[in-house]
Chain A
Amino acid sequence: MTPSSSLTTEGKLEVGEETRDQILVEMRAIWKRFPGVIANQGVDFELRAGEVHALLGENGAGKTTLMNILCGSYRPDAGAIFIKGESVGFKSPAQAIAAGVGIVHQHFRLVEKLSAAENIHLGWEQTPWDISMTKLAERTQQICSEYGLHVDPRAKIWQLSTGEQQRVEIMRVLARGARILIMDEPTAVLAPIETVELFRVIRSLAASGRAVVFISHKLDEVLEVSDRITVLRGGRKVATRLTSKCDRRTLARLMIGQEVVFHKLDKVPVDGKTIVDLQDVCALSDRGLPALIDVSLRVKEGEILGVAGVAGNGQRELAEVLTGLRPLTRGTIIIDGEDLSRASPIRLARAGVGHIPEDRIGMGLVRSASVTHNAILREYWKPPISVGARMDNREAAKFARKLVKKADVRVPNVRVPVRNLSGGNQQRLLAGREMLIASRLLVAVHPTRGLDVAATEEVRKVIVEHRNAGSGVLLISEDLDEILIMADRIAVMYEGGIIGLFEASAADREEIGLMMGGARPASDTHR
């Protein structure tokens, strides 16, 4: 399938006739480990002058890590980077920008209270020593017209739209002489009309001989704007293809993968009664934008409802409204026939709702506190741990030891701080604690993220056992394999809404992959 718009003709590079000096960047066998995660495993990447090269992959595939290595934010554990044939080892982003590599991060790094002109000149050696607003505005105006990007130089950042802020970021990088521009999920924050404008800019930058890396997980955008596509999955490079030889289906397959690594977990078919009934639920994100739009869902006894989707499409907010952490702006949540739309976390915990949060360290656990402190977090207020105002530390330790044993948390004693536990142990502790209270519904968000294979299998097993014991489970995961293995029904979330609902038996991996990328179901043939 060929990209459809008129932008595509100008400046497209015939990649077929490559010559050595056209290669701007070559990354060879890049490895990068973080504690608990291998983010890049021997990744090769090549970038040529005049091309827009898309880096495609799911969240956690290693795209951003790879580009952070290229732009000097991280140093690789192994591997080599060549820029125009010369080996480089950037120790800081400043060195990378001096070599012509600049990055525009997904979350802008601008000073909100300063003007666009001031932001562009911040920390730039070419900034004149005798600055005045007029001078900076003039210089900025020049940069604007040079790159065909328009922004009011005197406007404060907070006054600008997201698209304009992005232009300031781009100009800041270009003004410092970047020949290689990396854009990390640049469209994630943009309105559709701004996206069109951004694509025009990207194409014209490529036409001027620069190289642009476009990081995304949106298939349509990648197909529209890029010349070549490199797909990453699970930290490895899967393929590099010419865009003209790709279509959505092949890309989705490359991105999501096909092999099912884990065996399908056993299942007890139950047709239980409805535990949770969400009706037209709306909620706002932390930034005050609509994050959930008319979400209606039901979770029944003895089923796992898997919510698939790329992160940032409302999954976190969905978990938070269900656990009392985020207010609804509209709609109702009914649990076991009772309207709990406005219930507090404690009230929901009493109603039997447990929560394995996305951010287990930031939210689910108190890292600097002991295992005991963390074990009793949900039940500290009731006997036997607390009687009246008094808290019985011996009972608390007893409770913790019981939990540690039941959830198979491997610790020398319950006094050690949780930060000394491995990721798998932390998650077992958290999951075990939440399952104790989740007699009706367990909301599990990315429960296996960052865990190794063995720990992943264990956590999945206990969640399935919990389901088999008759509880309902809402499993939110961006790992489609996980959803396909574990879920009885699958809902796909995109931009705050549920755009598809499947029985697991009828689920089609490719179709779900397409829908995660924003494609509406074409027909109902799969139902």
Chain B
Amino acid sequence: MKAEPSSPRTFPWRLQRQIGVTPWAGLLARGVAVLLALIISGVVIELGGLPAIDLAKRAIESTLGSAYGLQQAGLLATSLILTGLSVAVCMRMRIWNIGAEGQLFMGAWAATAIGIHIEGPVIPMFLAMFLAAAMAGALWILVPALVRAYWNVNEIITTLLLNFVAILFVNHFSMGPWRDRVVGVLTATYRIPYELPSLVGTLHIGILIAILIAIGLYFVFNNTRWGYEVTTIGRNRRAAEFTGMPVTRNILIVMLLSGAIAGLAGAIIVTGTAHRLSGFISNEYGYSGIIVAALANASPIATIIAGFLLAVLLNAGIVLSTQGLSVNAVIAINGLILLFAAIGEVAASYRLVRDVEEGPGESPIGGPQWGTPVESAAGAVDTGQGGEVET
């Protein structure tokens, strides 16, 4: 149905939905979303009896004001960029990988399995651990990918549920067969004898790996035939089928790639910061990756920025948790950011326009025409983001 002016003639302004969002409006919407979420969180914290502005000041100082704080944020960013990329790769095709958390755990598990059982020279060992982690992550999404590609089974539920399986699986090994009986910890494995080299202070080179992967993905999406296919399928699946692109195969490849990246994140965490596999190696990175990817609108380069932004917030939260603010509050703030980003996404596609007579003659040839012929009007209004969404 056409969106029609429903206000009486006396009020000439109305909201009109535009088809598509300009890049600046999208960016502005995201910026405002983050800001609003922070302001609302501040008000709530203030009402809860804690000095919000004071806390914010301390959070900023502790993270951005010291080398140690920056290094800590960088470590968090490494994981968030990788899980963000994992989710973003799927988002390019309008598929939601909610299972980056589980794939991360499986990657960590595979890297640990190799790290604590095999001895060898450092570089081949790292290659082996990373490869195993990527494969384990990909394997963990294989079933959701197959049923999505061939039977169109909703991937949101399948990937999400496998997260819990993965955590239980890891817990079994970290508390059972691989538990470090020498030191006597209860919930972690033996220490992996291979450590990622440091970049600056506590920050290891994992951050470089994450950034390189992001840049690599940027080139894949923008400069390869396959990237073109993925973009086309994501934007209009029917057009892709019209040309004869291998849609099913590409859904599989994209989802496996997504799993592999999340798996790699697990290997980097376990060899870079955690050193022992346990059920606590992830700060919900897989879920935060969804926020990162959404804020970045699935762009690999923007994912780096969004990853850092969330890392700073997360680090601030960890610092604040020593000052009486619970970690759950930080998770809630992240949730608020995502919620506002989603609202901003929709709001960005509206303009306040003056109510004037619209006619077919108004659109100059070649100029913008903010309308579609009658046949497609319904589709344009009903879809969520850019208009063309496959159902």
* Interface residues, chain A, with chain B CB atoms under 8 Å away: 33-39, 65, 73-75, 77, 91, 323-325, 344-347, 349, 355, 357, 359, 361-369, 373, 376-378, 380-381, 386, 389-391, 393, 410-412, 417, 419-425, 449-450, 452
Check if A349 sits within 8 Å of B358, measured CB to CB. no
Given the interface pairs A362-B236, A422-B365, A450-B373, the reply to whether A390 lies near B223 with Cβ below 8 Å is yes
Given the interface pairs A422-B369, A450-B373, the reply to whether A368 lies near B386 with Cβ below 8 Å is yes
Check if B374 sits within 8 Å of A380, measured CB to CB. no
The residues in B between 349 and 380 inclusive whose CB is less than 8 angstroms from any CB of A are 357-360, 363-369, 371-377, 379
| Max chain B C-beta neighbours (<10 A), residue from A38, A323, A324, A420 | A420
The residues in B between 264 and 319 inclusive whose CB is less than 8 angstroms from any CB of A are none
Check if B222 sits within 8 Å of A422, measured CB to CB. no
**Contact for A420 among B6, B229, B369, B387, CB less than 8 A:** B369
* Interface residues, chain B, with chain A CB atoms under 8 Å away: 1-2, 4-6, 19-20, 222-229, 231-232, 235-236, 238-239, 241-244, 357-360, 363-369, 371-377, 379, 386-388
In whole angstroms, how far apart are the Cα atoms of A366 and B373 in the complex?
A: 15
Which residues on A sit within 8 Å (CB–CB) of B236? 362-363, 365-369
**Contact for B241 among A325, A369, A420, CB less than 8 A:** A325
In whole angstroms, how far apart are the Cα atoms of A363 and B359 in the complex?
A: 26
Which residues on A sit within 8 Å (CB–CB) of B377? 34
Check if A393 sits within 8 Å of B1, measured CB to CB. no
**Contact for A391 among B2, B223, B243, B366, CB less than 8 A:** B223
**Contact for A35 among B222, B226, B371, B379, CB less than 8 A:** B371
CB<8 Å pairs between A and B, sample of 12? A34-B360, A65-B374, A346-B244, A355-B242, A359-B238, A362-B388, A368-B235, A369-B232, A373-B228, A373-B231, A422-B365, A422-B369
Check if A34 sits within 8 Å of B232, measured CB to CB. no
Inter-chain residue pair count (beta carbon < 8 A): 151
Check if A345 sits within 8 Å of B242, measured CB to CB. yes
Chain B residue with the shortest CB-CB distance to A92? B6
Given the interface pairs A345-B241, A366-B388, A390-B225, the reply to whether A36 lies near B371 with Cβ below 8 Å is yes
Closest CB pairs A-B (n = 6): A35-B371, A345-B244, A410-B366, A346-B244, A450-B373, A368-B386
Check if B224 sits within 8 Å of A390, measured CB to CB. yes
CB distance from A462 to the nearest CB of B (A): 16
CB distance from B233 to the nearest CB of A (A): 10
Check if B369 sits within 8 Å of A423, measured CB to CB. yes
Given contact pairs A366-B239, A410-B365, a sample of 15 additional A-B residue pairs in the complex whose CB atoms are under 8 Å apart: A34-B374, A35-B369, A35-B371, A35-B372, A38-B360, A323-B242, A346-B243, A349-B244, A357-B242, A361-B372, A369-B235, A419-B20, A419-B372, A422-B366, A425-B365
Which residues on B sit within 8 Å (CB–CB) of A377? 232, 239, 242-243
Check if B20 sits within 8 Å of A36, measured CB to CB. no
Which residues on B sit within 8 Å (CB–CB) of A419? 19-20, 372, 387
Chain A residue with the shortest CB-CB distance to B368? A420
| Max chain B C-beta neighbours (<10 A), residue from A349, A355, A364, A391 | A391
In whole angstroms, how far apart are the Cα atoms of A452 and B361 in the complex?
A: 9
Which residues on B sit within 8 Å (CB–CB) of A412? 366
Chain B residue with the shortest CB-CB distance to A74? B2
